[in-house]
């Protein structure tokens, strides 16, 4: 046995432990708005070097290992764009005929996802863009497969996104054919294998086939219409005569996604802002 100095806890040690536990407990019960602004400040100041370091590492990884995948995706998109130009012209002509204004675009910025090795990673994600890059709270976070989440908190050079796995995530959904409306939320399951979404509030008279794609409905002013969310895999629960809850397999896995688009859909001006409420 080797000799070490006596390290049994003293009163001073107990005091330090108690202080740290009390501070942590206080942070847990402090309102989220306060703790998030503190976190933003720390990310932009004391922890800026480590965020910068991780950004460079993720960029390096992306540029090396994912180059071929990105090239393939770009080729696919190029083909899609060729088809789209004819549709675009036709759409523009019809809009002119109907005297409808041009469709509003959705500006976006690309961002790297800075994963952390903690068990709650995937519920919230640290993104490498902030308000200096044009990102604002409630901008939506997308990948080519579909919806990942929404920006919850924005700092100068980084932001936090709540993904679909976050307990507070909700989005109004509709089937791709526009026939059935509901609300999409994370599955409230007690089974460990069920990392799924629920499509709630579907009228009992409506039946969805397995494989039906659910997209965002565009209600609520945060998510625009038509972003794929998940695919129906079965009935989760039902209240006879009233409603069914369907299980959806999410189209995006927040745990492995490395590059996202942060987009700001066109939104109606808030009636609470003076000057936006109307006028002649």
List residues binding other proteins (CB under 8 A).
Answer: 1-4, 6-10, 12-17, 20-21, 23-30, 32, 35-36, 38-39, 42-43, 47, 50-51, 53-54, 56-58, 60-61, 114-126, 160, 167, 187-195, 255-256, 258
Q: For the chain, what is the radius of gyration of the CA atoms? A: 23
Nearer to other proteins, 38 or 266 (CB): 38
Q: How many CA atoms lie within 13 A of 175 on its CB side?
A: 16
Nearest of 146, 165, 244 to residue 202 by alpha carbon = 244
Report the nearest approach of other proteins to the CB of residue 186 (Å).
9
Nearer to other proteins, 20 or 70 (CB): 20
Q: How does DSSP classify residue 51?
A: H
Question: Beta strands of 83-180 (E only): which ranges?
Answer: 108-114, 124-127, 140-143, 146-154, 159-163, 171-175
Report the nearest approach of other proteins to the CB of residue 57 (Å).
4
C-alpha–C-alpha distance, residues 242 and 201, integer Å: 9
Nearer to other proteins, 8 or 280 (CB): 8
Classify each residue of 117-147 as buried b or exposed e, where b means 16 or more C-beta atoms within 10 Å of its C-beta: eeeebbbbbbbbbbeebebeeebbbbbeebb
| CB atoms closer than 10 angstroms to residue 45 | 11
Structure token pair of residue 111 = 């961002």
Report the nearest approach of other proteins to the CB of residue 49 (Å).
9
Report the nearest approach of other proteins to the CB of residue 93 (Å).
46
Determine which helix (DSSP H) or strand (DSSP E) holds 280, and give its type and residue range.
Answer: none
Report the nearest approach of other proteins to the CB of residue 245 (Å).
16
Nearer to other proteins, 219 or 233 (CB): 233
- Where does the chain have alpha helices with state H? 11-29, 32-44, 48-65, 67-97
Nearer to other proteins, 44 or 183 (CB): 44
Nearer to other proteins, 9 or 274 (CB): 9
Report the nearest approach of other proteins to the CB of residue 18 (Å).
9
Nearer to other proteins, 67 or 204 (CB): 67
Cα 275–chain centre separation: 31
Report the nearest approach of other proteins to the CB of residue 62 (Å).
10
Nearest of 140, 3, 112 to residue 52 by alpha carbon = 112
């Amino acid at each position: 046995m080797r000799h070490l100095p006596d390290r049994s806890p003293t009163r001073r040690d107990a005091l330090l432990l108690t202080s740290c536990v009390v501070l942590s407990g206080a942070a847990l019960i402090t309102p989220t708005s306060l703790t998030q602004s503190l976190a933003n400040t720390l990310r932009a100041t004391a922890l800026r070097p480590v965020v910068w370091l991780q950004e460079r590492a993720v960029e390096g990884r992306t540029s090396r290992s994912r180059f071929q995948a990105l090239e393939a995706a770009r080729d696919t998109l190029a083909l899609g764009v060729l088809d789209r130009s004819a549709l675009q012209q036709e759409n523009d002509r019809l809009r002119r005929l109907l005297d409808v204004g041009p469709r509003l675009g959705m500006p976006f910025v690309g961002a790297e996802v800075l994963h952390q090795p903690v068990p709650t990673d995937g519920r919230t994600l640290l993104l490498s863009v902030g308000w200096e890059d044009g990102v604002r709270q409630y901008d939506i976070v997308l990948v080519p497969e579909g919806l990942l989440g929404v920006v919850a908190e924005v700092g100068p050079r980084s932001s936090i996104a709540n993904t679909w796995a976050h307990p507070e995530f909700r989005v109004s959904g509709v089937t791709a054919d526009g026939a059935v409306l509901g609300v999409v939320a994370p599955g409230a399951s007690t089974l460990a294998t069920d990392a799924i979404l629920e499509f709630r509030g579907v009228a009992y008279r409506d039946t969805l086939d397995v494989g039906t794609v659910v997209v965002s409905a565009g209600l609520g002013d945060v998510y625009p219409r038509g972003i794929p969310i998940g695919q129906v895999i079965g009935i989760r629960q039902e209240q006879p005569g009233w409603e069914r809850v369907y299980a959806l397999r999410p189209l995006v896995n927040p745990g492995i996604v490395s590059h996202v688009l942060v987009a700001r859909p066109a939104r109606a001006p808030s009636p609470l802002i003076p000057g936006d409420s109307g006028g002649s």
